[in-house]
A and B are shown apart, each in its own frame.
Chain A
Amino acid sequence: MLHIAPERLAALLDETATPDEASHLADCAPCSDELAAHRRLARLALAEAVREGPPLNDWASLGAMLKAEGIISAAPVVLARPSRTQWVLRIAAGLALVAGSVVAGRWSTNVDLTRGEQMRGEQTRGEQTRGELTDAPRPGASTASVSTMAAAPVFASPQAAMQVLTSAQQQYSDAAAYLAAQDTTSHFIGLNVNTYRARLTALDNIVASTRAALYQAPQDPVLNQYYLSAVAAREGTLRQYKAALPAAQRLGRY
């Protein structure tokens, strides 16, 4: 009985057997076993693609080569920061973004506006001044009132605007940390471990996206604001998530 040659069996992983070969393989156990063994070998080879091993060099020798090649910088690396003009643009864009978000948010919350109308009648004047809802425009309000509401404050200098921005960011972080410690949001809107986890996943995506965007445009002020906000929100949510976990569970790493 003539068997199929080893190299032809190896080829049959990629090629179709001729009718004669197919007939032989159907009747010859040794040849069909050989073909099966070749298939197992192909799977082993494929698995090699993801197999890792120890580095072939150490960093000391590679680092020395990289220094000799001038790839490692001799001076400490400081990534470029936005110039003064760019800071001004950054602040202006950030404020426009915030103002726009406030306007859009207020116009889009019809339910809250109705509730604001009810509160207007029920609450004292002092309470009204504390509530954001009392300042919301009524449906059908003129665009003039909206534009008045969205008007950005005027700053004496870029430094003054920068101080306000820095202070606002610090206050935001402090408030987020306080809320995380108190876990008050869970009482208000029913957040639990699952919703924190979902939010973390979403924030991770946002952080990754904005970071990737910053790689393309590292000095873009709007992207910087989004990135910083997402990172701060993620940290706050992570603290909330840890606090919401049952006592028996411990979050090692997220």
Chain B
Amino acid sequence: MNSPGRYSTPAVLLHWLVALLIFVAFPLGVYMHELPLSPDKLKLYSYHKWIGITVLMLMGIRIAWRLTHTPPPLPRDLASWQKRLGALVHGLLYVLMIAIPLSGWLMSSAKGFPTVWFGVLPLPDLVAKNRELGDLLTEVHEILNFVLLASIILHVIGALQHHFIERRPFLQRMAWGGKENA
């Protein structure tokens, strides 16, 4: 049967905040790296890095919250392959949302550009300057991002499919208002 529950308000807030940040940082990353060197390019790189580190920090909170709060139950009649696929995509998204900003931070360190969050909080360099490692991490960062894009597409298709094609009230799980899962 249909589950009327939804995720707790902090979980919903964190989900959409991280979604918004990814929605900004992803195209920014694609756009900025092709630009010729200019002050604007340096600014965009900094904004991208600040957003990425913010996502990493929010993910710390998200994971802590997720581990201490039970999500609303899935509809009981959902096919088990759908449950498994959903869990797999969610797991992958969590891994990527940690691995991507981390790979960006590492790559920045390897290229000899420390990260100073919002120009205020200097983060430690996790690796020493190393051109080859920097180039390798750039590849890793890029590949992970395309896996992320594919995972997000699957995630969105899954949610919309449950809601509109299977006609289960599904989108309210990640919305405000309505009954929260206790």
Q: Does B associate with A?
A: no
Tell me the A residues contacting B by CB distance below 8 Å.
Answer: none
